[in-house]
Amino acid sequence: MSDSDYSPPPQLLLTAPGTQTIELASGTSFIVEDHSAAPILTVTDGGAGADTAAFNGPLTVSAGVAQAALLSKTLLQADSTPDIVIATDSNGGVRFSSVPGVTAEGSYLFLHSTNAYLGLNTSGIATNKPFVFYNGINTSGTGARIIYGATLQKSETGADANVLTYVPPATAGFYSVSVNIDCSIWAANMSATLTYKDSNGTAVSKALIFSDLTTGLPVTVIAATGNYGSTFPFDIDNSATNIVIAVTGAIGNTYKISAAVEQMA
């Protein structure tokens, strides 16, 4: 038998069934090593509030989120500097505190080495990267139609220069707006306009073309009560110019308007 095949006897061998307890004195460490003597797990009793567990490799918690308390004050590291500090919160959530702004109570975060993140809490899902793969298929553009601005059934009695305003980032993009008007009292003609800067940097003021949802006919001027819907795709430049939806005319009219701005690429 060669020296490389020799395994020294363990200093501690747990064989009894059930839960085993290892108690550490303050300032001491418990180390788990593999055959090459590289530390896999180091648990250190640093005194009250200063206990740590360092993992040199992947961490698997087979019992799931119910065991989140076991991860309190745990350091996940790929080198000598801790990358992520995991802490539990009052809702039993696991928080990765290296992601500013997304470590609210009850959040669950999954980090990538390039600081991409996916966060989930009671408010919804947050990510700083596009969807690049969905349902087994690679995606393009933003990977999903993302709504960056919306107003729902806003009650109006006349013109409105600011039904919805969205300030895009200083990046060229491909967007779409959708508008629905439900006019219950008509007294004057009304139109909806979209303003933005196109891909050539030209300021555009576009009168939206609506479909009369009763007749199916296209109209740019709403001249009667009814329901009207419009969708319009467009390119923008990188000037971060406001995207604005407004209503003109409509003196004496009563209506509700919903609008949304989406990005596709």
Tell me: pLDDT of 229 over 60: yes
What integer pLDDT is reported at residue 79 of this predicted model? Answer: 36
What integer pLDDT is reported at residue 67 of this predicted model? Answer: 39
Q: 81-101 pLDDT, tens per residue?
A: 444 445 554 544 455 544 444
What integer pLDDT is reported at residue 72 of this predicted model? Answer: 37
Q: How far apart are CA 192 and CA 158, in angstroms?
A: 12
Q: Please give the share of the chain, as a percent, with pLDDT higher than 70.
A: 56
What integer pLDDT is reported at residue 195 of this predicted model? Answer: 98
Tell me: pLDDT of 1 over 70: no
The fold for domain 146-263 equals Jelly Rolls (2.60.120)
Provide the pLDDT confidence category of residue 207 given band limits of 50, 70 and 90.
Answer: very high
* Closest among 191, 189, 183, 200 to 234, alpha carbons compared: 200
Does 82 or 111 have the greater pLDDT score? 111
Q: What is the chain's mean pLDDT, rounded?
A: 76
How do beta strands 137-138 and 218-219 pair? unpaired
Q: How far apart are CA 76 and CA 62, in angstroms?
A: 17
Tell me: pLDDT of 262 over 70: yes
C-beta separation of 255 from 182 below 8 A:
yes
C-beta separation of 90 from 78 below 8 A:
no
Query: Domain ranges in the chain?
Result: 22-127, 146-263
What average pLDDT score do residues 242-253 get? 97
Cα-based angle 243, 130, 200 (whole degrees, multiple of 5): 35
Q: How far apart are CA 222 and CA 250, in angstroms?
A: 9
Residue 27, phi-psi category: left (phi > 0), alpha (psi -120 to 50), beta (remainder): left
Q: Please give the share of the chain, as a percent, with pLDDT higher than 90.
A: 45
What integer pLDDT is reported at residue 35 of this predicted model? Answer: 58
C-beta separation of 151 from 259 below 8 A:
yes
What integer pLDDT is reported at residue 125 of this predicted model? Answer: 78
Q: 14-71 pLDDT, tens per residue?
A: 666 666 666 667 777 767 666 555 666 677 766 665 666 665 555 444 433 333 434 4
C-beta separation of 97 from 117 below 8 A:
no
What integer pLDDT is reported at residue 21 of this predicted model? Answer: 66
